Amino acid sequence: MCFADATLVLDLVPKPNVFSFSTLIYAFSKFHQFHHTLATFSRMLTRGLKPNNCAFPSRQVHGIATNPNSLKR
């Protein structure tokens, strides 16, 4: 998966919604790209979107918490 392309697609969506961000957050987390996961989550909040229970489920939080080195670039 090319993460830069995934982020670019989100940039091209005229009005991304919680679903758009949640999908990308899930994909980044699934491939253990936790830095990208948190950056995308932060970006969603910056745009004024409120996350729902699908945006950052406990699986992603657990993955980040149990592998803090994954946040290093």
For 14-28, the pLDDT digits (tens) are 899 998 898 888 888
For residue 49, being part of any structural domain is answered with yes
Question: In Å, what is the CA distance from 63 to each residue of 8, 14, 26, 30, 44?
Answer: 25, 31, 12, 9, 20
**Domain boundaries, position 35:** 27-73
Domain count, the chain: 1
Q: Would you say residue 14 lies in a domain? A: no
Q: Is the pTM of this model over 0.75?
A: no
- pLDDT of the residue at 47: 92
Residue pair 71/38 in contact (Cβ under 8 Å)? The answer is yes
Residue 52, pLDDT score? 76
Per the CB < 8 A criterion, the answer to whether 30 and 61 are in contact is: no
Q: Which residue has the higher pLDDT, 11 or 65?
A: 11
Confidence of residue 46 (pLDDT cuts 50, 70, 90): very high
Residue 22 belongs to a domain? no
Does the residue 1 lie in any domain? Answer: no
Taking CA atoms, 67 is separated from 18, 19, 32, 37, in Å, by 26, 26, 9, 13
